[in-house]
Amino acid sequence: MLDFHNHNKTRNTVVGFAVRRKVLLFFMLGAMVLLVARAFDLQVLRKQFLQQQGARRHVGAVEVAAYRGMILDRNGEPLAISSPVESIWVNPQELKNADQKDLRRMERLLGLPDGKIPDLMVPGSNKQFAYVKRRVNPHLADRVAALKLPGVNFEREFKRYYPAGPVSAHLVGFTDIDDTGQEGIELAYDTALKGSPGKKRVIRDGTRRIIGDIEAIKAPVDGEDVQLSIDQRIQYLAFRELQAGFIEHKARSAALIVLNAKTGDVLADVNQPSFNPNTRNNLKGSLYRNRAVTDVFEPGSTIKPFVIAAALDGGYVDPAAKFETHGIYRVGRNVVRDVHNYGTLNLMQVLKKSSNVAASMVALTMPRDYFWGIYHQLGFGNAAGVGFPGEASGSLLDYQNWNDFAQATLSFGYGLNASALQLARAYTALADDGILHSVSLLKRDQDNDAKRIFTAKTARKIRGMLEQVVMRDGTAFEARVDGYRVAGKTGTVKKISAQGGYTEKSYNAVFVGMAPASDPEIIIVVMVDEPSAGSYYGGLVAAPIFSKVMAGTLRLLGIAPDQYDTMPVLLAGHDEHQ
């Protein structure tokens, strides 16, 4: 009985083991079949899809920044250059795992306020990108990288640097944080300067860090260099002297243009007040304006040489004509006045004494359409065409809307306005024997758009008259330059009042001159807005600035003197500085 029971027990055990074995084998075979099927699905049926997904997760394309072109002066000196920097960004989702002490260390390295980096990790947010700091010095970026924080990444960029600082700031302009031009030449030629970025394929690790380059998809195309007409030596000289005059006379603003009289190239373009484009924190937008190109003013008596030239060229006045001024001149119901009663004046004395009365008499001898036509040909009322952002056109009322008094006031520079650049350009018609030049901020070999306005004989005659302005009894004795003959004209212009009409307290002091007067090479325009330290006449405020800049410019360019004896000094007293 016991043996039979034990036999059945043993048999049942064997049967149970066999069943379990079969079940196990079944599951093992099933698992193998599933693995084979899965492998077939992954490696055959879904191979392409998975490869694409894997590539998306571990292989990606990134942009390669292009080098922004340099801005150079006419001699190749850099005015704007780009240097490589690193921008630091983080993935907040990965940065959550970083040690708080390391985060504070990173903040101190980058000069960030405490808590700036933790603030990027907003609870519940899925944000995966945030800049920590842009344009960091590469050495500092290496120190941050040494912390080996999760989710911290680096992006190669370029930072713009301006070696001349405030000296050329208004002309060159600046770029924004993304290296896009915002003002000046940087804005005007942004497309050419910035080039186009490239692309490359890279491998990323599981934390999205770039761990290697695979191939270049598209090479970056570096920006083109832009070479300006500016001579940085003259630019610095002009900036220094204009700044000194601006401060001395406590002016509201000031602008100065230096022009090559033979080509129309702008050799210097400076303004006050200025700013440093390398550190632009808390600066007002008004400081960025290139006033010499974008701001206009009534040119005042600096326009009178063109009136005399137009009348002579058109045959409307005799070269020997004389004018009885009496200090006042009635034009209809209006009156034109001089500062003094200059009595009888010939044409040379009209410019030397800067008589509004005589200039009005000359202007009214000419037909309105002819008079307007000369002003129009000289460029008044039209932009000079240098392509600078915000370049001013100025204004010139159409002659069909004139009356006699309007024509008279236009003869001494009221009723029209122009920029310093436009005024400098107009004077090329006197400096280059009647040839008006176009103007350029880019270096060029010649002016292909030059045109004749006056005869050479008339232009030379006017230059001779303007030399008398710089004599002791003229209005601009302070404009003289030792060793050189100088021709020029002052302007002391009342400003328009906010209440209408002209104020008796605010003036623009202007001087335009050229040298050497025997064959002018250089034209300089100086405009000082609202000098308030006492003197406000163009001959006392703007002319001394002109003298210092012209003297330095002539020597820098090696232009030979044309006057070897002492400048003639007439014994007559120094007259009013209009």
Terminal CA-CA length for the chain:
147
Q: Please state, in angstroms and as integers, the Cα–Cα distance from residue 543 to each residue in 17, 266, 348, 416, 492, following that order.
A: 118, 20, 20, 22, 11
Half-sphere exposure of 529 (CA within 13 A, CB side): 17
Query: Could you give the 3-state DSSP secondary structure of residue 16?
Result: helix
Greatest distance between any 2 Cα atoms in the chain: 164
Integer Cα distance of 397 and 198 in angstroms? 52
Place of tokens 């009178």: 304
Name every residue whose Cβ is closer than 8 Å to that of residue 431 and which is 6 or more positions away in sequence.
261, 459, 463, 514, 520, 523
Integer Cα distance of 106 and 91 in angstroms? 15
By the 8 A CB rule, do 433 and 456 touch? yes
Structure tokens at 60: 């990606």
Query: Could you give the 3-state DSSP secondary structure of residue 493?
Result: strand
What are the backbone dihedrals phi and psi of residue 282, each rounded to the nearest 5 degrees, phi first?
55, 35
| DSSP characters over 326-386 | TTEEEETTEEEE-SS---EEEHHHHHHHT-HHHHHHHHTTS-HHHHHHHHHHTTTTS----
Structure tokens at 532: 């308030």
Across-strand partners of 488? 513
What are the backbone dihedrals phi and psi of residue 81, each rounded to the nearest 5 degrees, phi first?
-135, 160
Catalytic amino acids? 301
Exposed e or buried b for every residue in 429-443, given b needs 16+ CB within 10 A?
bbbbbbbbbbbbbbb
